[in-house]
A = this chain, B = another copy of it.
Amino acid sequence: MAATLLQGDKLASQIKDALRKDIEDLKAKGVRPHLVAVQVGENAASRVYIRQQQKACEEIGIAYELKELPDSTTQDEVLSFIEQLNQDQAVTGIILMMPLPKDLDAREVQMKISPDKDVEGMHPANMGRLIYGEMGLAPCTAHAAVELLKSTGVELKGKEVVVVGHSEIVGKPLALMLLSSQMDSPTPTVCHIATRDLTSHTKRADIVFVAVGKPGLIKADMVKDGVVVIDIGINRVPVTDASGNPVLNEKGKPKKKTVGDVDFETVKEKASVITPVPGGVGPMTTTMLLYNTVESAKRIAARK
C-alpha cells in the first residue's frame, strides 16, 4: 500500500484565504499588519527566507519591511533597535533573521522582542501559554505540523504519538500542543539523541513526528504498517546517480536536493499518510508565520 501524500499547500491556501478576510476586518479598524524583519550582517541563507516571507506577506496584504543592521552592530545597539520596534505603534510583528553575527547573544535579542509582536512564538510568555492550551502565538513549525496532522481528520484520542527530536522550538512545544486537550489528547513520547532504543518507540507509534535534521533517520523497518508520518526535517544532500556518484550541476559543483529526516521512498510504502519534503510541513510553516502576524495585529487592535 502506498501512503496518501499529505501536502501543505492546500491547507496553506485555505488558511491564507481566511487571513485575507481577517486583514480586511483589521483594515476597517484602522490596523494594518506590518511585519519587520531584522537582519544583522550578511547571510545568504536568510536572503532566501526573506524573499519567501516578503512574497507571502504581500500576497495576502501584510506590509513587509526589511531592516538591515551592519555586521559591526553591538549587542546594546541591537537591543535598543528592537526596543524601538517594540514601541513603534505602526509595527505589529517583528522577526529576527538567524544566525546573528557570532559575537552577539542571539537568545537575549530574541527574548527582547515584545511577546505581543513575537510572530515566531518564541518568547517564554508565548511558550508558557501552550501549557494552558492556548495557541495564540505558537512556534510556527510545531504549529504547522500539528495543523497539518489535524487536517487529515485522524482522531487523536487514545493514539500513541512519538515525537523524535526535543528542540526548544519544535519538539518540546509540539509535545505540549499534543497534550492541549483535556480529554482528546494522544499519549506523546518525546525521543531524542539520548533515547536508548528509538525503534522500540517509533515501531509502536500510530503517529510519528520527526524534527532532528538527519536525513534517512527514520527507515521502513522502524515503523508499523499504516503509521502517519509528519516529517519536519529539512536537509540539503548531494544528488547521486544510479551508481551512487555525485551528479554535478552546470557550474561543475555537486548538485543538491532537499530531503527530510525520513527515508521517504521506503517509508511511504508502509505508511497510511506521509508528508513529502519539500512540499509538506514547509509551505505550512510560512503560513503559520502569516497567521501569527495577523494574530499579533489583532491583539494590538483589541487594545486600541
Q: Which residues of A contact B (CB under 8 A)?
A: 107, 115, 123-133, 157-160, 166, 168, 171-173, 175-176, 179, 182-196, 201
Contact = CB atoms under 8 A, between A and B. Distances in A.
A69 B186 CA distance: 41
A188 B187 contact: no
Contacts of A132: 107, 124, 127, 168
Residue of A126, A171, A184, A195 with most chain B CB atoms under a 10 A cut-off:
A195
A195 B189 CA distance: 12
Given A127-B128, A166-B185, 7 more contacts: A107-B132, A125-B128, A128-B130, A159-B196, A166-B179, A182-B193, A187-B196
Given A124-B131, A128-B124, A173-B131, A192 B185 contact: yes
B195 A191 contact: no
Contacts of A123: 128
A107 B190 CA distance: 29
A74 to B, nearest CB: 23
Contact of A184 (B160, B172, B184, B194): B194
Given A128-B125, A179-B166, A190 B187 contact: yes
B187 A183 contact: no
Given A124-B129, A125-B128, A128-B128, A190 B192 contact: no
A186 B197 CA distance: 12
A188 B188 CA distance: 8
Contacts of A185: 166, 192, 194
A299 to B, nearest CB: 14
Q: Nearest 4 A-B pairs (CB), nearest first?
A: A124-B128, A128-B128, A127-B128, A189-B189
A174 to B, nearest CB: 11
A172 B176 contact: yes
A172 B128 contact: no
16 contacts: A124-B124, A124-B126, A124-B131, A126-B128, A127-B131, A127-B132, A128-B129, A159-B196, A166-B179, A171-B179, A179-B190, A179-B192, A184-B194, A187-B191, A187-B196, A187-B201
